[in-house]
Amino acid sequence: MSSSITPEPLQRLNVSSSPQERFEEYLQTRGLRQTSQRKFLIDAVFSEHEHFDADELIDRLPAKGEDNYVSSATVYRTLREFVDAGLLKSFQLDGRTVYELDYGYPAHDHLYCTRCKELFEFTSEALVGLRDQVASKMGFRVSGHRMIIQGMCSDCITKSRRKKRKQDLV
């Protein structure tokens, strides 16, 4: 079973159009125009594969008065558009909305360390097989799933064990 689990970083999938092209199609279907701010945001979001919330993205962007400044309201609105366009997925974690890249990446699940707040991605064929088996028995058609397993990562477990040694308390 463990041989079907891949904890290494997710590899991008080959897709027919870029995130920018996909978003432009989405905007056209809704009669919206592509703006320089939207273009800048899609480049900023897709420049790295990481989980983030809106405030973390805003902190990475140019400040007011600098080139390519984007207001907070525009960031929040555009992130919702990215989700609607199928470019990002969003989920709630510790009372905040977390975003991750969806377009061009395989389906996957997460381990969440409640101590250091790190999210670890993994894929598991066995998990997908079990999901499909349960759905079949229940007469359920699966359109997707999201699993976030909460606990402590190995680094935090190690740090926790070290603090409990008597020689460290002296």
Q: Which residues are annotated as a binding site for Zn(2+)?
A: 113, 116, 153, 156
Q: Annotated binding site for Fe cation: which residue ranges?
A: 109, 145
Tell me the CB-side half-sphere exposure of residue 169, using CA atoms within 13 A.
Answer: 6
Beta partners for 100? Answer: 89
Two tokens at 73? Answer: 């309201």
Where are the strands (E) in 14-157, listed by range?
Answer: 88-93, 96-101, 109-113, 119-124, 148-151
Q: Annotated binding site: which residue ranges?
A: 109, 113, 116, 145, 153, 156
